[in-house]
A and B are shown apart, each in its own frame.
Chain A
């Protein structure tokens, strides 16, 4: 027992905490953590510690858990046969994805008036408008003529621009030299509700 080392200071054999007896039951390391993540790291460790104690596996939800909508199982866990559909799980159809191709550039606009009845646009309908698209001749557009909004079909021919109504009772708008035309967006769909 009385070795030389013990008489001259330094670590004694068998002294200190037992190996892996700490909170985490394994070796730990010191590291730098960005200040903004301190709380996140701490809470992760808290959860990990409680797991070690209780032997229950708990996983932390991701920060953006709300965005993750993928279901993991469709059938409930129960005695019996699993749903034969589990292996063929697909996302449910989403109208947003179908109608909106550029999320940041898409706006909904309420149609007024009957000048575009022929194109299937009724008063009160909701138009899906994409501002990112280039307005080619023949597209239905939201235009601004001298500061006023209008929805018409765009016609470009030999440098002349006409905004055509799709209802014989309405006149076309011929863009003359003095007037200012801005194409605000291109109409990609019409939503017409019956009930």
Chain B
């Protein structure tokens, strides 16, 4: 098993990140159950520990738990991504100071490569935990291990048992304790084992992480392929998954959202999709990318009974990469025209730009950059709209319970 010269990784994970962000700006919520709803107040996407204890499950539609939440006076918040995004970048920036190599894995998780650091890792990570908490108000837990899979597992322990004070090094566990721990973890909860893989493993009797650990590596490879083999080896302390310092290049940009209310006229849907296309093109331009395929989809609400479940979509390929919204917005309308069917109430729609490549027109100094004529590049561009975007804005999402965007809008600052 692990040798002392092996690599060391840490996984820094914010505790109930969205709920914690809400608490920073409203300390009254400190011990209250909090639930954060998805865009358009559709489903539960985050819960404080107190809300978890009430049995409110992740992903359930809001209307299903509404009565329970009112009954238990659960604090309900619409998702406030401008706030969470800014708080995340503060946290990640501090975390990055504690190791030479950092991978920002998600909005609230970050891996660090601690290999070769000549410090007491436990003390070092305690200092990180304390600094994040005092500088931003966000509590974090940190798991340490020889591999990313082990660090992730360690994080789980750090979260569950307060006696570790938020930092746990899994490599200090003797084999028998480590195996006891694995026995208490579902195989699907191992980092990298998805729900589909878990199902495959369950079929051959592998239900816990311990079953997985004790299984023959050949079986794991047969069932899950080379990725499964890597996770298996990682669990044994052989690092196979390196830190990814640079986020892999995006293969597609998706801009979709549930409309505020169901929409049925072509003009209303087109208005919503035009705005979504502009959002997607903005992302495209920010990363200096161009697209060669565009998909448009609209669908009815699959959760509504007695309503036909309709999902319409169309994709078009392009002969050359484009990145200009003047071309992409009319294309979106054209695609919509081809799929649109009157008589249905559409509740969600979106645009996908696929097959992304580097935008050559931005690199070539000698090509006249036609993007300068895009609306968003002009002064007051953010205030300008394409005619197809004009309308009653019924499609804009509901965010009934949103707190202020405290850190990104001057008129929404915390008042004291």
Partner of A182, one of B27, B246, B248, B357: B27
Partner of B93, one of A37, A58, A104, A182: A104
A100 proximal to B (CB < 8 A): no
What's the minimum C-beta distance from B150 to chain A, rounded to whole angstroms? Answer: 24
The B interface is mostly helix, strand or loop, or mixed, namely mixed
Partner of A132, one of B134, B244, B365, B415: B134
A126-151: which have CB < 8 Å to B? 126-127, 131-132, 142, 144, 147-151
B407 near A111: Cβ-Cβ < 8 Å: no
Q: What 0/1 pattern do residues 126 to 157 of B give for CB contact below 8 A with A?
A: 00000100111100000000000000000000
Partner of A105, one of B28, B136, B249, B416: B136
Given known contacts A39-B249, A147-B27, A182-B27, is B135 in contact with A112 (CB within 8 Å)?
Answer: no
A104 to B90, CA, bound (A): 5
In the assembled complex, which residues on chain B have CB atoms less than 8 Å from the CB atom of A126?
Answer: 413
Q: What 0/1 pattern do residues 242 to 268 of B give for CB contact below 8 A with A?
A: 001011110000000000000000000
Interface size class of A (residues with CB under 8 A): 20 to 34
A144 near B413: Cβ-Cβ < 8 Å: no
Q: What 0/1 pattern do residues 364 to 400 of B give for CB contact below 8 A with A?
A: 0100000000000000000000000000000000000
A39 near B358: Cβ-Cβ < 8 Å: yes
Given known contacts A104-B94, A147-B27, A147-B30, is B414 in contact with A110 (CB within 8 Å)?
Answer: yes
Q: Which of B135, B137, B406 has the most CB of A within 10 A?
A: B135
- Which residue of chain B lies nearest to A108 when distances are taken between CB atoms in the complex? B413
In the assembled complex, which residues on chain A have CB atoms less than 8 Å from the CB atom of B30?
Answer: 147
A109 near B246: Cβ-Cβ < 8 Å: no
A150 to B415, CA, bound (A): 9
In the assembled complex, which residues on chain B have CB atoms less than 8 Å from the CB atom of A36?
Answer: 244, 246-249
B106 proximal to A (CB < 8 A): no
B176 proximal to A (CB < 8 A): no
Given known contacts A43-B358, A147-B30, A182-B27, is B135 in contact with A107 (CB within 8 Å)?
Answer: no
A60 proximal to B (CB < 8 A): yes
- Which residue of chain A lies nearest to B289 when distances are taken between CB atoms in the complex? A39
Given known contacts A43-B363, A60-B363, is B416 in contact with A151 (CB within 8 Å)?
Answer: yes
In the assembled complex, which residues on chain B have CB atoms less than 8 Å from the CB atom of A161?
Answer: none
- Which residue of chain A lies nearest to B249 when distances are taken between CB atoms in the complex? A39
A86 to B134, CA, bound (A): 44
What's the minimum C-beta distance from A153 to chain B, rounded to whole angstroms? Answer: 14
A102 to B27, CA, bound (A): 22
What's the minimum C-beta distance from A81 to chain B, rounded to whole angstroms? Answer: 28
A184 to B414, CA, bound (A): 12
B135 near A102: Cβ-Cβ < 8 Å: yes
A99 proximal to B (CB < 8 A): no
Residues of chain B at interface, number, CB under 8 A:
28
B186-210: which have CB < 8 Å to A? none
In the assembled complex, which residues on chain B have CB atoms less than 8 Å from the CB atom of A108?
Answer: 407, 410, 413
B135 near A131: Cβ-Cβ < 8 Å: yes
Q: What 0/1 pattern do residues 30 to 66 of A give for CB contact below 8 A with B?
A: 0000011101000100010000000000101100000
A126 to B93, CA, bound (A): 25
A51 to B38, CA, bound (A): 50
Q: What 0/1 pattern do residues 43 to 56 of B give for CB contact below 8 A with A?
A: 00000000000000
In the assembled complex, which residues on chain B have CB atoms less than 8 Å from the CB atom of A110?
Answer: 413-416
Partner of B416, one of A37, A102, A103, A149: A149
What's the minimum C-beta distance from A131 to chain B, rounded to whole angstroms? Answer: 6
Partner of A150, one of B28, B407, B416: B416
B249 near A104: Cβ-Cβ < 8 Å: no
A55 to B340, CA, bound (A): 53
A127 near B416: Cβ-Cβ < 8 Å: yes
A43 to B359, CA, bound (A): 10
A103 near B137: Cβ-Cβ < 8 Å: no
What's the minimum C-beta distance from B61 to chain A, rounded to whole angstroms? Answer: 31
Partner of A107, one of B27, B28, B91, B406: B406
What's the minimum C-beta distance from A89 to chain B, rounded to whole angstroms? Answer: 25
B135 near A58: Cβ-Cβ < 8 Å: no
A126 to B411, CA, bound (A): 11
A131 near B416: Cβ-Cβ < 8 Å: no
In the assembled complex, which residues on chain A have CB atoms less than 8 Å from the CB atom of B365?
Answer: 58
What's the minimum C-beta distance from A66 to chain B, rounded to whole angstroms? Answer: 10
B27 near A144: Cβ-Cβ < 8 Å: yes
What's the minimum C-beta distance from B388 to chain A, rounded to whole angstroms? Answer: 31
A36 to B137, CA, bound (A): 34
5 contacts between A and B (CB under 8 A): A102-B135, A110-B413, A112-B415, A112-B416, A131-B134
Q: Which 9 A-B pairs have the closest CB atoms?
A: A105-B135, A147-B28, A104-B90, A110-B413, A149-B416, A144-B27, A132-B135, A109-B414, A110-B415
